[in-house]
Structure 1
């Protein structure tokens, strides 16, 4: 018998698990907006999604419907999300536009950022926050420090 891997094949050390009000609609949004591929969907006896898995890029995202009886509530039920996912894609403008077309709300439009990414932020229809980016430029620590100082000095004006 072979030894069981401590982190299953295809997973990373941290895997987000999103709670949403309408799991079926959320899965369709993530397919349209982020090109997600559905790996698994398991329904509870009452029809809610108890566990689903999507592959977005090289990462797995888990998803479940709300289960208030187990204290599993979505951002829509608790007044928003204090957490944001950061997703790297090949073409940030294309992915951002697809997500918005699929129903996401624009928080920050796509633009080149001081840290070397082209980046925009959205809120998906289920209350989850996403930063979408394409990495454009590698910066040394010194370049990053200088760029950050310049960017922050502009914010205070």
Structure 2
């Protein structure tokens, strides 16, 4: 371990995690959408020229998501498909799905009990990102 690495401490919300960092066309609007549709809480915002968001962080159900306005070398998702889905466990997948769709998310899969012990829905946000929301099913 380098001397520098030995002196820093990884923040708890980054520990033991792969942190998604998504790029959007309209990061400020995306943050507002995530707050209204998914209950996200903005943690940090760094703005650049003309109000563009260079880097921001939001918490979605306690998980950190990094985002910013699209810039080289990144691109925004192709509306025909996505190579990544963002999975988040939530207390009420049905309620969150209804709220998100009412706020403008596209319903890809309605809440469904899955054989692996979760009730799951799949949504595409207005910025092209696919989200999978899950609530554990309590065995009877």
TM-score class normalised by the smaller sequence? 0.7 to 0.9
Q: CA RMSD in A?
A: 1.7
Provide structure 1 residue ranges, at least 5 long, that are not aligned to the other structure.
Answer: 139-157
Unaligned segments of structure 2, at least 5 residues: 1-5
Deviation, structure 1 residue 113: 0.8
Alignment of 1:5-154 (within 5 A): 5=9, 7-12=10-15, 13-67=17-71, 70-76=72-78, 80-137=81-138
TM superposition score normalised by structure 1? 0.78
C-alpha distance in structure 1 between counterparts of 2:125 and 2:99, whole Å: 12
Q: TM-score, normalised by structure 2?
A: 0.87
Q: Please report how far the alpha carbon of residue 137 of structure 1 lies from its aligned counterpart in structure 2 after TM superposition.
A: 4.0
Higher fraction of strand: 2
- Superposed displacement of residue 8, structure 1: 1.9
Which protein is bigger by CA-based radius of gyration?
A: 1
Pairs aligned (count) = 133
